[in-house]
Amino acid sequence: MRVLKLGENQNNKFLKLVSQHHKLTAALGDLRNESGPASHGRDGFLAKLSVHHRRSAVLSADALVTFLHQAYLEAQRDPVNSREPWERFAALNQLIDTNVGLELVTDDDGNPELRILLPGGDDLFLNIPVSRLLYQLDRDAYIEALNAARGVPAPIVAPSEEQGEA
């Protein structure tokens, strides 16, 4: 109810629906109680009335729960503030995956940069070390990359002219 913001307003239609469910349940209970001794187990009337009472209560409660569940599944959540998992944004994810691309480029200092290619020709740049990206997104890939990097010999650094003169 909090996600759907259904309890914030006393004039809310949902609160009226809950109220009507309560009134139906109470009215069926009153009908059973006013039916006299037969309604309290001394005759078959109780069984018949109780079955209808329970069925009405269960069906109306089921309608409320179904409504809440469907509304929750269809609610537009804000991906900026949401703590929902990535999977809950399937439609938004599909929109991005269809229209946005990735490209790996090297900046002026020789550092890898992930370029996000937006529709319309705009770009976003993600400056993140490869190790951090792998560590955050895929630990198995991080370990595989680490093992591969361990086998690479260290680069030989040529002494600079200034170091040679000293």
Give the model confidence (pLDDT) of 34-62 as tens digits.
665 554 455 555 556 566 667 777 787 78
- Helix locations, 39-89, DSSP H: 44-74
Helix (H) or strand (E) holding 23: helix 13-34
| Pair 76, 88: CB distance under 8 Å | no
Q: Mean pLDDT of all residues in the chain? A: 77
d(CA 111, CA 131): 13
CB 49 within 8 A of CB 13: no
What's the token pair of residue 126? Answer: 């993600």
Q: In this prediction, what percent of the chain has a pLDDT beyond 90?
A: 20
CA–CA distance, 116 with 126 (Å, rounded to integer): 7
Give the pLDDT score at 76: 67
101-106 β-sheet, strand order: 101-106, 112-117, 123-126
Measure the N-to-C terminal CA separation of the chain; round to a whole number of Å: 74
Please compute Rg for the chain using Cα positions.
Answer: 32
**Beta carbons of 128 and 114 less than 8 angstroms apart:** yes
Predicted confidence (pLDDT) per residue in 76-126, tens digit: 677 877 777 888 888 889 999 999 999 988 888 888 888 999 999 999 988
Helices (H) and strands (E) in the chain, counts: 6, 3
Residue among 104, 77, 107, 105 at smallest CA distance from 90: 77
